[in-house]
Structures are given as C-alpha cells and as structure tokens.
Amino acid sequence: MQLALDGISKKMGSETWLYEMSLRPRAGAVTVLLGATLAGKTSLMRIMAGLDAPSAGKVLVDDYDVTGKSVRHRNVAMVYQQFINYPSFTVAQNIASPLKLRGEKNIAAQVQTLADKLHIGMFLDRLPAELSGGQQQRVALARALAKNAPLMLLDEPLVNLDYKLREELREELGSLFASRDSTIVYATTEPGEALLLGGYTAVLDRGELLQYGPATDVFNFPSSVRVARAFSDPPMNFVKALRTGAGVQLPSGEVLSLPLPESVTGGAYPGGAYPGGADITVGLRASALRLQAREGDIALHGNVQLAEISGSDTFVHMTSDIGDVVAQVTGVHHFDINAPLVLYFTPAMAFVFDAADSLLYAPKRKH
C-alpha cells in the first residue's frame, strides 16, 4: 500500500501543529518518525490514520484521495503509548479478535506465536487488568500485528517498557516487520531505535519535516544542524568556527584540514566561494571523542563537569578550550569532578555546516 501526504498541514486555533509537508513512506517498509516530544509525530500519525483531518493538503492511498474518510473506512492498525485492550477479553481473545474477523485458520497457533515473540505467551488466559502496564502494552501490540493491516501506525509502543525488555523487543519487532507486507510507520524519540529498526527515517522538529530518506543516509548525512541534533544521542556537540584557506579554525586556534567545497548551492554564499573568516559550525558526535590519541588527532583540554555510566559506556561532560562537550567513552570509567582531562578526535570525523546551518562536509562512511 502506498500512503502519500501531499502538502498537508495542521492548525489548532492560532497554533500550527504541523507546517506544510509532503511525505511518501516507502510502501512495504518501515518508516520511523524521529523527533523529540511535541515534534508533531502523533499529530502526523492521527492524520495518516484518519482520526484527524489536515487543515490543508491531501492524504492519498494508492493515489486515491481518502482525506475525508474516517478511520472506520480505512484498514489501519494503530498502537498508542497508552495501551487499549478489550477489558472483558482474555489476552488470547484480544490477540485473536482480528484473526477471527478475517476468518483465519489455526488461530490458536498464530496467537501463541505472536504472544511468545512479545514475551506474553504465559499470560494468554489472563484478563488485561491482571497484567502490568508493560504487559498490557504488548497485548495491544500483538493484536495490532495480528490484524496485519496494510498500514500499521505505532506511536512509541515500547516507551512504557523497562530498558532490558525494550532492547529485546526492538530486535523481535525488526524481524516481525520484515515478515509482513505492511507499510509501517513507527514513532520514537530515540535515534538508536530508528537505526536499529532500519528502513527509512523522517526527522521532525517542532512541526516541521526536516529530512526523509534511508535511516543510515539521514544519520550519516544530516542535511542541517537541526537534523544532526535530533539524530544523535547524546546530542551532537556543536562549535562555532571560522572557514580559513587551510580548512576550519576552532576557537582554540587549532585548524582542521578538511576538503571543504568552494561553494554550496543554496548555502550562505550560493554560487560563489566562501570568503575567509566565514562563520561555520563544526559538529562532533560524542562517540568521536576518545581518551587515547591517534596520529593526526586534535586534543581538547578541559575539566570534567559530570560523568554518567550508561550500560557499558561512560558519558563524560567536560568544559574545554572549544566550549562544553560530551564524550561517549567505551567502558566504565571513574572521573573526579573538576579534574583536568584531555579528549582527542580525528579531524575527518567532524561534520561541518555552513552559515545557513546546511551540511557542508560529512565524514566518509566505512563500507
């Protein structure tokens, strides 16, 4: 099924919830709507589902205009952050309900398979009220998967689950999605989830669609500072710098010798060379900063402000000679607050954005 949003927007009173945008999620694939809270993900999904009508523009399904059709007249499955189940049905009956409506065979086996993949196979005889919130959410997710609708909309379906289970289910969902022909739209605030699910990613920010494409392409080549900020966890470090004849000069005086283009179409100086001293922005992902130096590295000198252990990584917040930065260091480390620290990065790992915040240079991808 090909869903297309053609110039849609959404206003509520004097507020604009969605600015004019067009989007065609890839048919039969996963499209992740990535953005912070209030980015517009749920508003966009409600328009896709037919729960809300856009203030302008059209919603097309296989080139047929369904803008005025309600959700009752669309074959859509949707899972919200707030789970919705039939309270008087057992878990098995909830999951089986769409299968029965379609007159499927081997319903019990299909229910068991879905329940096992979502780690609720042992609760099939229970009522939803007897389950935890996370378990009830998985029941709602299983029922949506059982519907096997041509369009599946999943609005942060794992947000209420504990970290370990969330990680396990992300992998399960990837294989479940791959086994279906449905067009799947999945909303999340977490860049790692967008990368893990693969497929395509649409980056939203404050009601604007900033970039859409294959997830790895958007991650590796963010079109703007706003996209790079949204598609990095922790957020990318940004430093104001100057364009020089040799490359990029940081506030510390260090120069990054990078092969920057002479001009950028649509950038701050379209069609012409960048003058010496032009303002630009350097972006460094936290994972690009290291404790050990390599040949040709740039050193950042500063003091530790905070160290956080997250799983097998340590996030180090440091004031430095180019400004405040965050480093994602592999392993569990202890750092004293205010202790001096030196971090290193390879110049080629830097992103560079022009004065209009558009991408000018990105690190080469490893194949």
CATH of the domain at 250: 2.40.50.140
Q: Is the pLDDT of residue 259 over 90?
A: no
Q: Which of 163-167, 311-315, 336-340, 353-357 has the lowest mean pLDDT?
A: 163-167
Q: How many structural domains compose the chain?
A: 2
Instruction: Determine phi and psi for 205, rounding to 5 degrees.
Output: -150, 120
Residue 367 placed within a domain: no
Q: Is the predicted pLDDT of residue 150 greater than 70, yes or no?
A: yes
Residue 277 has pLDDT above 80, yes or no: no
What pLDDT score does 311 carry? 80
Instruction: State the Cα–Cα distance between residues 307 and 121, nearest whole angstrom.
Output: 40
Q: Are residues 180 and 263 in the same domain?
A: no
- pLDDT bin (cut points 50, 70, 90) of residue 158 is confident
Q: 265 in a domain, yes or no?
A: yes
Residue 272 and residue 180 share a domain: no
Per-residue model confidence as pLDDT tens digits over 18-64: 999 999 999 989 999 999 999 999 999 999 999 999 999 999 999 99
| Residue range of the domain that includes 33 | 3-230
Question: In the predicted model, is pLDDT for residue 11 greater than 90?
Answer: yes
251-278: average pLDDT? 63
State whether 8 and 57 are in the same domain. Answer: yes
Asked if 273 and 211 sit in the same domain, the reply is no
Same domain, 341 and 196: no
pLDDT at 113 over 80: yes
Q: What is the pLDDT of residues 312-333, one digit of tens each?
A: 899 999 999 999 999 999 999 9
pLDDT of residue 262: 66
Q: What is the pLDDT of residue 147?
A: 87
Same domain, 212 and 245: no
Q: Is residue 366 a part of any domain in this protein?
A: no
pLDDT band at 340 (very low <50, low <70, confident <90, very high): very high
- pLDDT bin (cut points 50, 70, 90) of residue 133 is confident
